[in-house]
Structure 1
Amino acid sequence: MNCAISGEVPEEPVVSTKSGLLFERRLIERHISEYGKCPVTGEPLAMDDIVTIKTGKVAKPKPLHTASIPGLLGMFQNEWDSLMLSNFALEQQLHTARQELSHALYQHDAACRVIARLKKERDEARALLAEVERQIPAAPQVMTANVAISNGKRGADGEELGPDGKRMRPGISAEIITELTDCNAALSQQRKKRQIPQTLASLDDLERFTQLSSHPLHKTSKPGIISMDILYSKDVIATGGADTTAVLFDRPSGQILSTLSGHSKKVTSVKFVGDTDLVLTASADKTVCVWRGSEDGNYDCRHTLKDHSAEVQAVTVHATNKYFVSASLDNTWCFYDLSSGLCLAQVSDGSEKMGYTAAAFHPDGLILGTGTSQSIVKIWDVKSQANVATFDGHSGSGPVSAVSFSENGYFLATAAGDGVRLWDLRKLKNFRSFDFTANSVEFDHSGSYLGIAGSDIRVYQTASVKAEWNLIKTLPDLSGTGKATCVKFGENAKYIAVGSMDRNLRIFGLPGDENADDASAASSDS
């Protein structure tokens, strides 16, 4: 008789008075202590229901297969087979363990190599940062005491001079860096929640754009519009001309509001400062002027900045509207405090033959993009004034004439003699090109459209890196009247303003939206 639990002959058999089943005592005692019921029937069971069965001591018979030589040989063969199978399993486990160990050692070696490379790059970056900090000296403390520094030199306008005879710059302070960083964080958060406005002009609208009006704004002796900007809150267009002036034009009324005269050579760049009454102009006469409007509509030059030694090609305003940057052919760009007109930092990359021809702030404000006379695009970290990326995708057929960041913060468009290049700032590579001569390139404020100015005006629909950027509209050819030098989208892309070398400001929009432009067109025809 066998135990109902183990199936073996019990050494100390007991029987249940309820079910009559036979059990090994130690097994049924453990089961009752844990569960309190019969393991077979499931009925409640206690030790009082268990009765011990008394048996005599008998010798267990030997197995039959051990009673003969062939049986013993068979038993040995079975043992040998079991040993071989066990040995084979152990060898497989050893092989697997060796592979895992080899892989772990390889990963450890690779990790050590990566750590060593990162340490090397970190040390190189620290050395580069230290070199940059040495090239940008801190503001001398003796300036507050109005005394000369150790070499006894002073600039013509009272500024301190360094040992090399160059002006000392205070540098971008930690407070300013904190302000720029906070602005960047706020704008980045807004961009994540930003949606394309419902009032944005649709693709069908842009396809129906036509020329609404044309306005001759600058003198005929030196014709040509070189730069342009739009103040969206008042719908005022500023143009910089080859006649050394900048003109503020009210688009709804078609009237010239003010003419800014103060430069001695062509105005290469003009920018509004947010929604304020401040206007910046840069000129080939090596100066930058800061203009402030008055109640009577006139503009006064509050600062004339003379920190560059060659033509100033571009100005761009930071998102805080407190600072701006100017870029010059003297191979430097300057970071200014707008309220005081003080140049806080003047940055050069050390190349003597590479002047800057274009500049634009990234929408978040911590990155500055510049174009050079050698067809190279350079990206700068404003906080450290370090060159963090260089794009050389243009073929070297002339200077980079314009740079424009998309509002989404991912794309950069650059224009040069060999066409327009689109760059992915996340991967630092050129992902699309438009191979025709371009003088200007501009994203609209929503980042939905891209305008390119050359012999004609081309408007593209923006897309992702892998998707196609479709050509929406080609506006009239300007090659017979003068090449287009600048293009800007109006608010919500409701119109497109184009400046050209024939001194005309052209407005393109939907037929029937001319409003006051009709009256101004009559004056332009005369």
Structure 2
Amino acid sequence: MGCLTLGTGYHSSIFLILQRAEDPALDVKLTSDYVKALLQVLELAGIDAESLWEQGRSFYSDLAVSGEVPEEPVVSKSSGLLFEKRLIERHISDYGKCPITGEPLTMDDIVPINSGKIVKPRPVQAASIPGMLGMFQIEWDGLMLSNFALEQQLHTARQELSHALYQHDAACRVIARLKKERDEARALLTQAERQIPMSVSVPDAANAAALSNGKRALEDDQMGPDGKRIRPGISSSIISELTDCNAVLSQQRKKRQIPATLAPIDAVERYTQLTVNPLHRTNKPGILSMDILHSKDIIATAGVDANVVIFDRPSGQVVSTLSGHSKKVTSVKFAAEGELVVTGSADKTVRLWQGSEGGSFECKHILKDHTAEVQAVTVHATNNYFVTASFDSTWCFYDLASGLCLTQVEDTSEASEGYTSAAFHPDGLILGTGTAGSIVKIWDVKSQANVARFDGHVGAINAISFSENGYFLATAAQDGVKLWDLRRLKNFRTFTPYDENTPTQSVEFDHSGNYLALGGSDIRVYQAANVKSEWNCIKTFPDLSGTGKATCVKFGPDAKYIAVGSMDRNLRIFGLPEEDGGPSES
């Protein structure tokens, strides 16, 4: 049999086989016949198995210590064993002997081995395809985890950037609003300083200072312990002014006679529709409130389209359109002989409009004291003050010239549910308010105390109107119209013109107190009488708008015509034709 020779590259593999055969702790089980056959092969190859075993132990001694091929190999002079330098240094410093033979060993006995620096030897686990696949899997998992972490950081950075941009935008808006309010306050300060008289009494000095600071003087720095704004209040001088006005008007009323120019009953019975005036937008139709300036015979209408239209009735022309509110305008009133117009809106604001010689109007003040829809505005007989009523269950008393809220009165009763209507008594010391909770309340303006309360209606109080004689109050709601005697604080008459599903939207006395008009699914005019006499319906106008909602009714000067606003955007004028003695038109 020829001599079998094996390359030196197989020595390490044969050593591993012998090692596994020797080590019973390893999982690989090699039979004794397999080992004997291997030893016979080694003998035929001329290889000493014992010598190969010692060489393998020397070469793989480092595997016994670290389990890996050494990166910086060194060899022991005494035993010829191969070690990793950093590991054998640590072992010698700790124990002072060889980790394999147990013989004494120092670093002087260690000789470094020069190896190639170009290619780093692969670890044993990378020498097979499964090992390489495992390493690739580990590297791929690490790459994916790193990518996921980067995506999380990117998402967080985007969120922080978006939040910062929103904060910047909000800050810019707040700054712009504050600048606008500052400019308004400065303008009001300048105007108030010109209007306040030089001689200011000592008790009223605080109020005068508040007026001079404009409508927002107390908002920023004078807050009560409950977090509400501190108002300057109705001063003693204002109360004196209101009282003097009441005395003059009461005295005049006693001497007043029915004017000879007042339209007689037979004329009212013959009233027909004279004109139809489309004043508001077609896409948002509806007139919600109206006022007539008798001295100039001009009409202001408040619309769902958020505009107020000033209409010259004799010429049939629109004089001006007041635009500025962002939602529907719920109430409008003339003041100061038509030089000012006061409007309340569902956008929670009240606006004062200053008229000019050309007939146009410019917004003078924007008042933001209410926190809900403003439902009514009413001007005091002095033409120096006005009141607003809102769904927020408060009414505010304002100075007309400066736009300053002197006091804000809150209705804390549970039955209030917010105000829906308001009107001054002709004498000016009494204020009437209607609520969404079907209650009518009477207030003493001087003390801001609730002095009377009328129950009995069903549904919200849509409108209230005081008679010019000062004795009667008419209120309109879901169940019709009730008349109240202010002297006895009792209801003395009730009109139910419509069915229970059709509310009465408006009610109005004429300036003489001789006629009462109400509007709902039609328009009806009653002859006013006293408590004991019958109030007869003298004229009924059909609802020509087709909407079934006559939202506002007003008498013209001397009741020569009746103006009606409804939900079809048209202002209708009812009266006698000019040839029959009706109102003249140019």
Question: What TM-score, normalized by structure 1, do the two folds share?
Answer: 0.68
Pair 468,295 (structure 1): closer, same or farther in 2 beyond 3 Å: same
> Which residue in 2 is equivalent to 1:179?
241
- Paired with 1:287 and 1:485, the residues of 2 have a C-alpha distance of 21
After superposition, the C-alpha distances for 1:211-258 in whole angstroms (9 at most, x for unaligned) are 001011001111000000001111100000000000000000100000
Specify the SS of the correspondent of 1:188: helix
Q: For residue 309 of structure 2, what is the amino acid of its counterpart?
A: V
Q: Which of the residues 446, 450, 466 maps onto 1:387?
A: 450
The aligned runs of 1:63-74 (5 Å cut-off) are none
Pair 409,518 (structure 1): closer, same or farther in 2 beyond 3 Å: closer
Q: Which of the residues 376, 390, 403 maps onto 2:464?
A: 403
Q: Which of the residues 563, 571, 574 maps onto 1:497?
A: 563
> Which residue in 2 is equivalent to 1:476?
542
Q: Which of the residues 495, 498, 501 maps onto 1:434?
A: 495
> Which residue in 2 is equivalent to 1:34?
none
Q: Which of the residues 276, 283, 289 maps onto 2:351?
A: 289
> Which residue in 2 is equivalent to 1:167?
229
Q: For residue 351 of structure 1, what is the amino acid of its counterpart?
A: S
After superposition, the C-alpha distances for 1:407-455 in whole angstroms (9 at most, x for unaligned) are 0000000000110000000000000001133100000000000000111
After superposition, the C-alpha distances for 1:286-312 in whole angstroms (9 at most, x for unaligned) are 010000111222111111100000000
Q: Give yes or no for the alignment of 1:200 onto 2:262.
A: yes
- Paired with 1:372 and 1:220, the residues of 2 have a C-alpha distance of 31
> Which residue in 1 is equivalent to 2:486?
425
After superposition, the C-alpha distances for 1:115-158 in whole angstroms (9 at most, x for unaligned) are xxxxxxxxxxxxxxxxxxxxxxx999699699xxxxxxx98953
- Paired with 1:264 and 1:316, the residues of 2 have a C-alpha distance of 21
Question: Does structure 2 retain, via aligned residues, the 8 Å contact 1:212–1:514?
Answer: no
Q: For residue 445 of structure 2, what is the amino acid of its counterpart?
A: V
Q: Give yes or no for the alignment of 1:342 onto 2:408.
A: no
Aligned length: 374
Q: For residue 358 of structure 1, what is the amino acid of its counterpart?
A: S
Question: Does structure 2 retain, via aligned residues, the 8 Å contact 1:140–1:170?
Answer: no
Q: Give yes or no for the alignment of 1:364 onto 2:427.
A: yes
Specify the SS of the correspondent of 1:222: coil
Pair 367,481 (structure 1): closer, same or farther in 2 beyond 3 Å: same
Specify the SS of the correspondent of 1:371: strand
Q: For residue 469 of structure 2, what is the amino acid of its counterpart?
A: N
Pair 501,424 (structure 1): closer, same or farther in 2 beyond 3 Å: same
The aligned runs of 1:248-267 (5 Å cut-off) are 248-267=310-329
- Paired with 2:512 and 2:207, the residues of 1 have a C-alpha distance of 48
Pair 459,237 (structure 1): closer, same or farther in 2 beyond 3 Å: same
Pair 159,462 (structure 1): closer, same or farther in 2 beyond 3 Å: farther
Pair 460,321 (structure 1): closer, same or farther in 2 beyond 3 Å: same
Specify the SS of the correspondent of 1:393: coil
Pair 159,254 (structure 1): closer, same or farther in 2 beyond 3 Å: farther
Specify the SS of the correspondent of 1:302: strand
The aligned runs of 1:89-104 (5 Å cut-off) are none
% same residue: 72
Q: Which of the residues 278, 281, 295 maps onto 1:216?
A: 278
> Which residue in 1 is equivalent to 2:42?
none
> Which residue in 1 is equivalent to 2:387?
325
- Paired with 1:293 and 1:374, the residues of 2 have a C-alpha distance of 37
Pair 217,517 (structure 1): closer, same or farther in 2 beyond 3 Å: farther
- Paired with 2:386 and 2:572, the residues of 1 have a C-alpha distance of 28
Which structure: greater helix fraction? 2
Pair 319,156 (structure 1): closer, same or farther in 2 beyond 3 Å: closer
**Unmatched runs of 5 consecutive residues or more in structure 1:** 1-137, 147-153, 521-526
- Paired with 2:423 and 2:279, the residues of 1 have a C-alpha distance of 25
Q: Which of the residues 300, 305, 311 maps onto 1:243?
A: 305
- Paired with 1:479 and 1:213, the residues of 2 have a C-alpha distance of 13
Q: Which has the larger radius of gyration?
A: 2
**Structure 1, 159-168 or 442-451: larger mean CA deviation:** 159-168
Pair 452,159 (structure 1): closer, same or farther in 2 beyond 3 Å: farther
Q: Give yes or no for the alignment of 1:189 onto 2:255.
A: no
Cα RMSD, aligned residues only: 2.5
- Paired with 2:333 and 2:585, the residues of 1 have a C-alpha distance of 27
> Which residue in 2 is equivalent to 1:313?
375
Q: Which of the residues 509, 512, 515 maps onto 2:575?
A: 509
> Which residue in 2 is equivalent to 1:375?
438
Specify the SS of the correspondent of 1:487: strand
- Which fold has the larger relative contact order, with Cα–Cα distance below 8 Å and residues 6 or more apart in sequence? 1
Pair 433,513 (structure 1): closer, same or farther in 2 beyond 3 Å: farther
Q: For residue 241 of structure 2, what is the amino acid of its counterpart?
A: E
- Paired with 1:487 and 1:465, the residues of 2 have a C-alpha distance of 23
Pair 267,513 (structure 1): closer, same or farther in 2 beyond 3 Å: farther
Pair 215,479 (structure 1): closer, same or farther in 2 beyond 3 Å: closer
> Which residue in 2 is equivalent to 1:65?
none
Pair 141,295 (structure 1): closer, same or farther in 2 beyond 3 Å: closer
Specify the SS of the correspondent of 2:250: helix
Pair 212,330 (structure 1): closer, same or farther in 2 beyond 3 Å: same
Q: CA deviation at 1:465?
A: 0.2
- Paired with 1:281 and 1:209, the residues of 2 have a C-alpha distance of 30
- Paired with 1:289 and 1:495, the residues of 2 have a C-alpha distance of 29
Specify the SS of the correspondent of 1:168: coil
Q: Which of the residues 486, 489, 514 maps onto 1:448?
A: 514
Q: For residue 426 of structure 1, what is the amino acid of its counterpart?
A: R
Q: For residue 434 of structure 1, what is the amino acid of its counterpart?
A: F
Question: Does structure 2 retain, via aligned residues, the 8 Å contact 1:252–1:515?
Answer: no
Q: CA deviation at 1:494?
A: 0.2
Question: Does structure 1 retain, via aligned residues, the 8 Å contact 2:442–2:453?
Answer: yes
> Which residue in 2 is equivalent to 1:97?
none
**Unmatched runs of 5 consecutive residues or more in structure 2:** 1-202
